[in-house]
A = this chain, B = another copy of it.
């Protein structure tokens, strides 16, 4: 199979080249194989893994959580419950924020029309943000 250079991997996953090297440093991506001249080479598995990582990051998983999930996935006999626990713990924290964001969005939609011509003095947006937490 065709080996990819780091730039191509970056293009396929949307990650920056430097970010990929950073992921290797912290052990989130494996140590890449190298060509004779020292360039990193990647395969399809790396594309999948990096996509998984980018996705997880955008969903708010920390690199540590992702590391755990990946290392769990590499032990096919292990209990799946551990992975579920990580994901659930993470999602628990996420749900509250989602709810508040949804609320803020609604408020913002309601307000957006009035606002476009109005003055700051009557602007509801700030109140919407200020109160999106209280309930």
Contact A119 B79 (CB under 8 A): yes
- A82-120 CB mask vs B (1 if < 8 Å, else 0) is 011001100100110110111011001001100111111
Interface residue tally for chain A (C-beta within 8 Å): 54
Inter-chain CA distance A112–B49, complex, in Å, is 22
Contact B94 A101 (CB under 8 A): yes
For A84, the closest partner residue in chain B by CB is B115
For A54, the closest partner residue in chain B by CB is B133
Contact A126 B69 (CB under 8 A): yes
Inter-chain CA distance A43–B94, complex, in Å, is 32
Please list the residues of chain A having a beta carbon within 8 angstroms of any beta carbon in chain B: 48, 51-52, 54-56, 58-61, 69, 72-73, 75-81, 83-84, 87-88, 91, 94-95, 97-98, 100-102, 104-105, 108, 111-112, 115-123, 125-126, 128-133
Known A88-B112, A98-B102; judge A55-B121 contact (CB<8 A).
Answer: no
Contact A58 B120 (CB under 8 A): no
